[in-house]
Amino acid sequence: MLDFFAVITKGGLVLWYFEDAAQQLKTSINAINALIRNVVLQERGGENIFSHGSLALKQHVDNEFDLLFVAVYQNILQLSYVDKFLLDIQREFTNCFREQLRQGFYNERFNFGTEYKRILKQAESLTKIIKAEPRKPRTFEESEKSKKTVNSMIKHRGGEQVQTKKPSKKKEGKSKKQECNNNSKGSQAEEVGEDEDEEEERENEDLVVNESAVEENKEDDVPALNNNDENELDEETLRRNREKMFVKRSTPKAAKVNSTKSPKPTKVKKGKKGTVWDLGGKDSTHLDYSSKAGDSTRFSLRPDFLPDQSQIGTLSGNVRDMDMTKEESKKKTSSGGMFSMLRGLVGGKTLTEADVTPVLDKLKDHLIGKNVASDIAGKLTQSVGDQLKGKVIGTFEGVTSTVRKTLTNSLVKLLTPGRRLDILRDVMEAKNSGRPYTMAFCGVNGVGKSTNLAKITFWLIENNLRVMIAACDTFRAGAVEQLRTHTHHLNALHPPEKHHGNTMVHLFEQGYGKDASGIARHAIDFARKNNFDVVLIDTAGRMQNNEPLMKALAKLIMVNEPDLTLFVGEALVGNEAVDQLVKFNRALADHSTLAKPQKIDGILLSKFDTIDDKVGAAISMTYITGQPIVFIGTGQTYTDLRRLDVEAVVNALMI
């Protein structure tokens, strides 16, 4: 039974609603607001059922009058008639109030209670009748087994039905040997032929068989081997076949006779060469990196970390946008792209499901080719299809512009952050409150967490913020040394002399094998006492199905409560991105003891410079979490950090 039903315009005006007496109105209104906020506004129309607490919500969109029909019922109920009920209500409501809706008279009263109860009663009674009917088993004629005949189970070769079976390779009894005594030589020849290589077997299969004799013997039910009158041709054929076979066996193959293997040249075994290191021949003092923190600014710079040092001091403010210009992507899009498939649609009519389905299938394949996860591509195309059904278009250009606009709006709403995202402002607010701003980085192995952490550190230093790096990757060998190398280079690029004697980057480390959550907590306390502005927590890479490491990550997030939890993912992945994000979020929720566990707050896409126009991973990750993409990594240097340009990504996706 439905608890609540409402007809709402896309502008948010409630035209008509029905409330069950046993259900609180406030609970249903909160559920519908959550549906509008998380599904309608973010273009997630592909979701079949939206759950909010103990309630389940289903929606249906009418594109002709921009109406939203919402049904609310208890999540524990399995109501199979809701989809058809929504369609019937939509059809009846638009037919009854077509003139009012067309003229926009939304302030008038919509008396729809009688029709609603009638349609609901019909739907519920039909469901009861269907459930009351006993389910009869299928008859044998309705099953697939009845369609299988003897002829369909016999294998065919060359389009003709095989009448005879191959002789068995197993030894037969004495009685069968006596019956086949006349042809013992032929059987021996066949056994010898089976020992030949594949080429000889293929040639032996081409031997002629007297099919007429076989058919006549089947009719008389007499073995063909005992009929001497009708078997003369068979004997002649067997004789010729045996002669061919003996000739082949008596003359060895030319390849085997003529080919003489040349002796292999003897290899002189060389001794093991010594390993040549990068600093081979130099004093061991060049390999000693155990100097104190005071000498870190005199560390020699590596040019590959920052090839152009003239960029120092130019990255203050917000992170720069992507390098891909909108003009280039628009030129590529205007040249054709996936919208060339729309020529199958005819303008001048209302789009129906039959018109839209072929286009949506091609659209789904196009999105999957752009590296969008298959499930996400299906939901996106379903959402676009729901918006296209019922649209009245005029010409072919109208079809193209309508579909392009619909898809563009859906993707832009999906990628646009639903909340304010200004890290520099959040850092200043935390600084004014007397605490450091904390960011935690998590993700699977090898996605570039430490490298992108160093890029973000360089950007924060450019904005005159002191950064504490917490080395909480106590699992991977060399993780602490990697962060120590980045700390040396960052302090060399921004020496204390340029910042009033303050060391801008400090590495907080406690070695390997320690508790990561404890190291992060001590690092935050140390940063608070020493006036550091930001704490960046580097964690170990872990696979999403590694339960012990996922528990350790959940403990670190729960104990330290970072202001921003970033998931670092590769832009190369497709379906794997969905699995990673779902299991990371699930682990953070399942292994937390808080009433509202903290989950992933943002996404950092690494290796974005390697994907060209296959930007589907950004769509998949944003769709599955509902969280924004905060940064994208476009290279290996400290300045290769960009902000996602939503319009450029959408244009690249539609090429």
571 exposure class (CB count in 10 Å sphere: 0-12, 13-18, 19+): buried
Q: What is the dihedral angle through the alpha carbons of 344, 349, 350, 353, rounded to the nearest 10 degrees?
A: -30
As separate numbers, helices (DSSP H) first and strands (DSSP E) second, the chain gives 23, 15
pLDDT of 204 over the 70 cut: no
Q: Please tell me whether residue 268 adopts helix, strand or coil conformation.
A: coil
Q: Which two tokens stand for residue 562?
A: 């970072």
| pLDDT at residue 524 in the model | 95
DSSP string, 542-606: --TT-HHHHHHHHHHHHHH--SEEEEEEETT-SHHHHHHHHHHHHHHHHT--SSS-----EEEEE
Give the model's confidence band at 155: pLDDT under 50 very low, under 70 low, under 90 confident, else very high.
Answer: low
CA angle 400, 403, 409 (to 5 degrees): 130
| Range with the poorest average pLDDT among 38-47, 100-109, 476-485 | 38-47
Place of tokens 């005159």: 464
Residue 335: the pLDDT is 43
Do 439 and 539 touch, CB atoms closer than 8 A?
A: no
Q: Within 13 A of 97's CA, how many CA atoms are on the CB side?
A: 20
How far is the C-alpha of 521 from the C-alpha of 560, rounded, in Å? 6
3-state secondary structure of 19: strand
More confident residue, 448 or 27: 448
Residue that the structure tokens 């009158």 belong to:
229
> What are the helix (H) ranges across 36-172?
82-96, 98-103, 113-132, 150-153
Angle, in degrees to the nearest 10, between helices 575-590 and 374-388: 100
| Predicted pLDDT at 457 | 94
Instruction: Name the residue with higher pLDDT: 655 or 618.
Output: 618
Q: What is the pLDDT of residue 279?
A: 52
Integer angstrom CA distances of residue 78 from 72, 82, 126, 229, 504: 12, 9, 15, 77, 59
Q: In angstroms, rounded to a whole number, what is the distance separating the alpha carbons of residues 243 and 578?
A: 67
Please say whether the dihedral angle defined by the alpha carbons of residues 20, 24, 28 and 33, taken in this order, is positive or negative. positive
Rounded mean pLDDT of 12-38?
Answer: 79
Strands (E), 116-242: 156-157, 160-161
Mean pLDDT to the nearest integer, 516-534: 94
Tokens representing residue 199 in the block = 């080429």
Q: Residue 70: how many CB atoms within 10 A of its CB?
A: 22
Residue listed under structure tokens 């690029």: 493
- Whole-angstrom distance, CA of residue 155 vs CA of residue 220: 25
Least confident span in 42-56, 85-99, 361-375, 392-406: 392-406
Kindly tell me if the per-residue pLDDT of 585 is higher than 50: yes
| Most confident among 101-110, 136-145, 398-407 (mean pLDDT) | 101-110
- What share of the chain has pLDDT > 90, as a percent? 18
3-state secondary structure 513-539: CCCHHHHHHHHHHHHHHCCCCEEEEEC
pLDDT at 98 over 70: yes
**Cα 183 from chain centre:** 65
pLDDT score at 52: 83
pLDDT in tens, 283-325: 555 555 544 444 444 445 566 666 667 778 777 778 877 765 5
Q: Sheet harboring 602-606: ordered strands across?
A: 505-508, 467-471, 534-538, 437-442, 564-570, 602-606, 629-633, 641-642
pLDDT tens sequence across 605-627: 998 888 877 888 888 888 888 88
User: Please, what is the average pLDDT of the chain?
Assistant: 76
Contacts made by residues 581-589, CB under 8 angstroms, sequence distance 24+:
581/621, 581/624, 581/625, 582/624, 583/544, 583/545, 583/550, 584/442, 584/544, 584/550, 584/553, 585/625, 587/544, 587/547, 587/550, 587/551, 587/553, 587/554, 588/553, 588/554, 588/557
The whole-angstrom separation of Cα 468 and Cα 457 is 9
Nearest to 72 by CA among 58, 83, 61: 58
**Bridge partners of residue 526, in order along the sequence:** none
* Per-residue pLDDT, 194: 45
**φ and ψ of 561, to 5 deg:** 45, 65
The secondary structure element, H or E, covering residue 396 is helix 396-415
State the pLDDT confidence band at 456, using cuts at 50, 70 and 90. very high
> Which residues of 296-341 form beta strands (DSSP E)?
none
Among residues 558, 570, 555, the alpha carbon closest in space to that of 617 is found at: 570
Angle, vertex CA 328, rays to CA 326 and CA 334, nearest 5: 100
Distance CA 99, CA 70 (A): 22
Task: Decide: 488 and 527 in contact? Cβ < 8 Å.
Answer: no
Give the pTM: 0.62
Taking a C-beta distance cutoff of 8 angstroms, is the pair 450, 490 a contact? no
Nearest CA among 514, 512, 452 for reference residue 486: 452
The letter for the amino acid at 62 is: D
